Amino acid sequence: MDNPRTQAREAARLIRQGLTQLGHCYQTRDGGLVEVSFASVQFVEDAYALVEVDTRRLPPRVTISKLVHPDTLHHLTAVVGKPVKRLNTTGLTYCVALKAQKKQRLPKMIELDLSHRPTGDYVIGFGLSREGEVWKPLEKLRHIVVAGSTDSGKSAFLRSLLYQLLKQSLPVELYLTDMEGLTFAAFEGVPQLAHPIAESVEDATQIAFQLTQEMERRAALYQATGRFPEKLSEYNSQISNLHSPFSILPWIVAVFDEFTALIEEAGKSSDLYRLIGQLAMRGRKYGITLVFAGQDFKADLLNTRITNQLRTRVQFACATAYQSQVVLGKSGAEKITTPGRALISFGGKITEVQTFWVEKERVLGLRRGPVSPLSAEERVLVHHALEELGGKFNIHDLAEAFKGRISQRRIEQLSRQWEARGWLVAGPTRADGKRITAELVNLAEGRKGNMPTQEQLDRPFHWAQDRMMRLDPGSDEFKRLMLKIAEDSDHPNDVAIARILRRKLREESEDSDGA
Ligand SMILES: Nc1ncnc2c1ncn2[C@@H]1O[C@H](COP(=O)(O)OP(=O)(O)OP(=O)(O)O)[C@@H](O)[C@H]1O
Ligand SMILES: [Mg+2]
């Protein structure tokens, strides 16, 4: 293949020839020929030839409007054998796409390589297109729809998306919904999972509710800055610049796999559908990205409130041109035969992409250490009972503490199950209620070492002291624990230690006052 400079010169020669054929030239009386001349011929990125017409020295009776007429461009395209367009600049420059003719083939499989990731916050790689790898910042994508028939590559794509989110250094929280319980199993136990993976309409509704509440919380925090941030990156940079007492907020990504099936089951008058509508409409401003995956999206399923916000649409292979039309506004995906191949619309501009492949093993490598067999919900209950209730699994107190997040019925159910498994034991008297066992705590922590023994658990305040010794005496948690010991314990050791610690605290605060 000729080098681009030669190709560009050849294109310029053919353009002049084509224009002369059309009569865009001037015949002098003595039989000489004045053709259109060029001010410059350049090439860009080996892909385009830019041929600038010298408009100040056009042959007599040749006008710019003749040179840019669609019929002229059409003729030039035929003569050059490559698309010839007018560049949108002042003057007149023809642009020839040099590479358009050799249609590069996309590979059947391309492994995600994070070393290619461009710098920037929350940048996500989609895959390889004919123009190169496609990487986009989450903030630009708004909400995402992922459609395709069975085995087309939806779940693999979601896996790659989540993997990438977990492999960057900024904070992120994940909320996952998966009716079949298969897609995200590998993500169970990653610390960024903010809620147990939802496998039912009720669980999904709970997630959607929690997210709307988080949205309200963020709205209040935004307002508290007094600076009207418009998006999460703005809020976070204001927070860091202002030395604010509030902390940076993580980006939230909520993925609903099998969304079509989920809504079919829940119905369109459900709380779930209503809450998702609210999240779709307002969530983006607060750093909440929703991802909806499913097999066949009906035109009416994504109601307008959601549709308007779905700027990124990934359509894998599908059965009918109609399906492709519903998602992309354009047919074409029905012709796809390769798994992982998709047509992706970014705000209306459609690109064909072989999406990045991420092996399951890479995802499994994300988990550090052994994983707790308990769900995140079960773990927080155990933690709360241990840290706040002195080891008592008190249903009423727990229900109160997790109001709106975990129902009393669920806590009662767990209490019965765990007692039967020997993870909760009845205290000496009825009033003592059930207590958590060391085995349960160890299961909740999912790791060994530094865990309380049964003896420590039976004397919870010694366990608390142990913790205190490892805490920063200036921290709130330290003060809270200390108060608890002073108030609740009548063990002489606890009282003595509390007294010492309190004195230490007082001295410290006097020191800092005096300084
Ligand atoms: N990006 C990819 N590159 C190469 N192969 C892929 C890619 N994505 C998917 N595949 C292949 O296609 C198979 C099916 O993909 P996947 O499980 O993602 O389908 P799906 O669309 O989620 O199907 P379902 O609707 O049944 O859940 C994968 O096991 C894999 O072999
Ligand atoms: Mg799937």
Ligand 1 centre to CA of 44 (Å) is 37
The atom number, within ligand 1, closest to the CA of 110 reads 3
Of 340 and 499, the structure prediction assigns the larger pLDDT to: 340
Q: Nearest bound ligand to CA 257?
A: 2
User: Which stretch of 212-216, 377-381, 483-487 has the lowest confidence by average pLDDT?
Assistant: 483-487
155 residue type, one letter: S
Instruction: Report helix, strand or coil for 444.
Output: helix
Mean pLDDT of 191-212: 92
DSSP 382: H
Percent with pLDDT over 70 in the chain:
83
- Cα–Cα distance between 56 and 201 in angstroms, integer? 70
| Closest C-alpha residue for ligand 1 atom 4 | 109
Instruction: Report helix, strand or coil for 76.
Output: helix
CA angle 273, 279, 283 (to 5 degrees): 170
| Closest C-alpha residue for ligand 1 atom 7 | 340
Tell me which long-range contacts 298-305 makes (C-beta under 8 A, separation of at least 24).
Answer: 298/260, 298/326, 299/326, 301/260, 301/263, 302/145, 303/268, 303/273, 303/277, 305/277, 305/280, 305/281
Is the pTM value of this prediction over 0.75?
no
DSSP 335: G
Summarize pLDDT for 3-35 with one digit per residue, the tens: 888 889 999 999 999 999 999 999 888 888 999
Burial class (CB in 10 A: 0-12, 13-18, 19+), 497: buried
Mean pLDDT of 117-133: 90
Q: Judge whether 319 and 149 are in contact, CB under 8 Å.
A: yes
Mean pLDDT of all residues in the chain?
85
Q: Nearest bound ligand to CA 151?
A: 1
184 residue type, one letter: F
Pocket test for ligand 1, best of 151, 316, 336, 353 (most atoms within 8 A of CB): 151
Mean pLDDT of 361-389: 79
160 residue type, one letter: S
**pLDDT of 143 higher than 70:** yes
Summarize pLDDT for 234-274 with one digit per residue, the tens: 999 888 777 677 778 999 999 999 999 999 999 989 999 99
**pLDDT of 503 higher than 80:** no
pLDDT number for residue 127 = 95
Of 355 and 298, the structure prediction assigns the larger pLDDT to: 355
The atom number, within ligand 1, closest to the CA of 355 reads 1
The Cβ-side half-sphere exposure at 287, using a 13 Å CA radius, reads 25
- Dihedral sign of CA atoms 507, 509, 513, 515 in order: positive
DSSP 421: T
**pLDDT of 368 higher than 70:** no
Residues with CB under 6 A from ligand 1: 109, 148, 150-156, 295, 339-340, 355, 357
Q: Kindly indicate the confidence band of residue 124, based on its pLDDT and cuts at 50, 70 and 90.
A: very high
pLDDT number for residue 181 = 80
Summarize pLDDT for 28-64 with one digit per residue, the tens: 888 889 999 999 999 888 888 999 999 999 999 999 9
**pLDDT of 380 higher than 50:** yes
Percent with pLDDT over 90 in the chain:
50
In sequence order, which residues have a C-beta less than 8 Å from that of residue 153 and are 6 or more positions away? 316, 317, 339, 340, 341, 342, 355
CB burial readout 348-357, b (16+ within 10 A) else e = eebebbbbbb
Summarize pLDDT for 440-496 with one digit per residue, the tens: 887 887 644 445 556 555 555 555 555 656 666 667 666 666 666 655 555 555 566
- Cα–Cα distance between 445 and 450 in angstroms, integer? 10
Pocket test for ligand 1, best of 128, 155, 297, 344 (most atoms within 8 A of CB): 155
Ligand 1 centre to CA of 408 (Å) is 40
The terminus-to-terminus CA distance of the chain in angstroms comes to: 77
Kindly give the pairing relationship between strand 123-129 and strand 132-137: antiparallel
Q: Kindly indicate the confidence band of residue 186, based on its pLDDT and cuts at 50, 70 and 90.
A: confident
Residue 291, strand partner residues: 144, 255
pLDDT number for residue 82 = 85
Pocket test for ligand 1, best of 152, 182, 255 (most atoms within 8 A of CB): 152
Summarize pLDDT for 308-318 with one digit per residue, the tens: 789 999 999 99
Mean pLDDT of 381-396: 88
Mean pLDDT of 133-161: 95
pLDDT number for residue 52 = 95
Ligand 2 centre to CA of 130 (Å) is 26
Ligand 1 centre to CA of 148 (Å) is 10
pLDDT number for residue 448 = 44
Ligand 1 centre to CA of 250 (Å) is 29
Q: Nearest bound ligand to CA 125?
A: 1
Of 439 and 61, the structure prediction assigns the larger pLDDT to: 61
| Closest C-alpha residue for ligand 1 atom 9 | 153
In sequence order, which residues have a C-beta less than 8 Å from that of residue 505 and are 6 or more positions away? 473, 479, 482
Mean pLDDT of 500-515: 64
pLDDT number for residue 449 = 41
pLDDT number for residue 458 = 55
**pLDDT of 131 higher than 60:** yes
Mean pLDDT of 183-198: 87
Strands (E), 11-47: 26-27, 33-34, 38-44
pLDDT number for residue 388 = 85
Ligand 2 centre to CA of 152 (Å) is 8
